[in-house]
Amino acid sequence: MSSEKTNQSWGGRFSEPVDAFVARFTASVDFDKRLYRHDILGSQAHARMLTQAGVLSEAERDAIVAGLDEIRGEIEAGTFEWRVDLEDVHMNIEARLTERLGVVGKKLHTGRSRNDQVATDIRLWLRDEIDAILVELNRLQAGLLQLAETEADTIMPGFTHLQTAQPVTFGHHLLAWFEMLSRDHERLVDCRKRVNRMPLGSAALAGTTYPIQRQVTCELLGFEAIGGNSLDGVSDRDFAIEFCAAASLAMMHLSRFSEELVLWTSAQFQFIDLPDRFCTGSSIMPQKKNPDVPELVRGKTGRVFGALTGLLTLMKGQPLAYNKDNQEDKEPLFDAADTLRDSLRAFADMVPAIKPKREIMREAARRGFSTATDLADYLVRKGLPFRDCHEIVGHAVKYGVDSGKDLAEMSLEELRRFSDQIEQDVFAVLTLEGSVNARDHIGGTAPAQVRAAVQRGRELLARR
């Protein structure tokens, strides 16, 4: 058994030090030290509350608060010594405070446990992360609105099964992503409400015998509510799981968006061009311009899905209350938040710089008989049943495939071979402009509706 120095905060019960490997294996300081700001904030609020409760004197409180400020300065200056034998961020900071203040530093932990301390730190950290993520999400949505307004009249093919279906406008297509991201925003805001509940005061699992005033720390730390059960407060991580679920949905949307950008930049589509700063080349093929940013975001989605699955698995077998398993909650949570924020930032920078190739988009919309449904609707307005119209247009499309003509390229005589209800006015509905303009309702692809949706989107962003 190694005699390497080990954590003495709980050493009174033990007759020998922890094995050196076990100390390293069970330590979390290498990754949880990123919680230092929130750990210090929580400790300062706890010290202020202990003073109001009569546990600390004002002089002791002031010494603790000032000492913690100085420790934060050391950490941010890179001069703080992080010790693995002290296990985690909490004990490292407390040990340094005790080193500076002596007995006063040892009083800070009165009325709390590392169990409620870490649960508080994670919630404070995640609250800030959600706020930062929402900033990037808003920025991406603003960029989508800007581009959608510019491209409100740009016609492109709309797809189902990745086959040409009906013409839409590029602006309308972009607004579909705006809508998805709006729901992601709602989910994150709603998740934040449950993150913002304070477990501090739960102590190890049963609360504390000291006369703590939880409302004081709740207000000092900006929590919206106090956790109502001490066992629950220290042991559950459903708020972290919920965040990873919301993050997974957001990343799924970004991944689908990425897939379209990858397709659209290919030589087979050539719908858009991405600026060089968001792409890379090939070490062997000089002609290549690879859409690395969307490809990487598409790949990083798996990391966030993995974090969600990992946290669900982590929690599913744990009895109440705190278990060492929960040390494994931080790395996947940290990674999920970092990945989502960085992916949104990359897209927020990239999307406004997308350059559509309008003529190629338009030409693609001309192919594939994208106005076939418009011809069927035209015949319905002439009084024919829709199913009969569907069959009539199907025959016309087959003729077009055989003759190499789009519907709009056929003569009136050719079209009338399939129905004598077809008149000269049919060509108004067979044009691409006629098709998109006809869908003039809320949620439709008509340019006027796209511009109206952009305005509604801007009003939504302004209300946030």
Annotation says 282 is catalytic: yes
CA–CA separation, 452 vs 464, rounded Å? Answer: 19
Question: Tell me, what amino acid is at 372?
Answer: A
Q: What whole-number distance in Å separates Cα of residue 445 and Cα of residue 417?
A: 31
What span, in angstroms and rounded, lies between the C-alpha atoms of 42 and 218? 10
Cα 102 to its chain centre, rounded Å, is 44
Active site residue 185: no
On whether the CB atoms of residues 419 and 392 are closer than 8 A, the answer is: yes
Where do the DSSP E strands lie in 230-317? 272-273
Spatial contact of 378 and 426, defined as CB atoms under 8 Å apart: yes
Amino acid identity, position 159? F
Residue 259 has a CB neighbour count (10 Å cut-off) of 14
Q: What are the counts of helices (DSSP H) followed by strands (DSSP E) for the chain?
A: 20, 6
Instruction: Record the tokens describing residue 371, joined without a space.
Output: 């106005």
The 10 Å Cβ neighbour count of residue 17 is 18
CB atoms within 10 A of CB 378: 24
Which residue of the set 57, 266, 282, 403 is catalytic? 282
Measure the CA–CA gap between 100 and 420, rounded to whole angstroms: 96
Give 331: exposed, middle or buried? Use CB within 10 Å, 0-12, 13-18, 19+. middle
Please give the backbone phi and psi of residue 356, each rounded to the nearest 5 degrees, phi first: -75, 145
Q: Annotated catalytic residue: which of 3, 15, 161, 441?
A: 161
Contact partners, residue 78, CB within 8 Å, separation at least 6 = none
| Residue 2 Cα distances to 23, 29, 92, 174, 415, angstroms | 10, 20, 21, 62, 91
Q: How far is 103 from 117, CA to CA, in rounded Å? A: 20
Element (H, E) at 168: strand 163-169
- Asked whether 407 and 430 are in contact (CB, 8 A), the reply is yes
Contact between 249 and 187 (Cβ < 8 Å) = yes
Q: Are 232 and 315 in contact (CB under 8 A)?
A: no
Nearest Cα residue to 32 out of 77, 87, 72, 73: 87
Among 128, 136, 251, which residue's Cα sits nearest to residue 192? 128
Residues tagged active-site: 161, 282
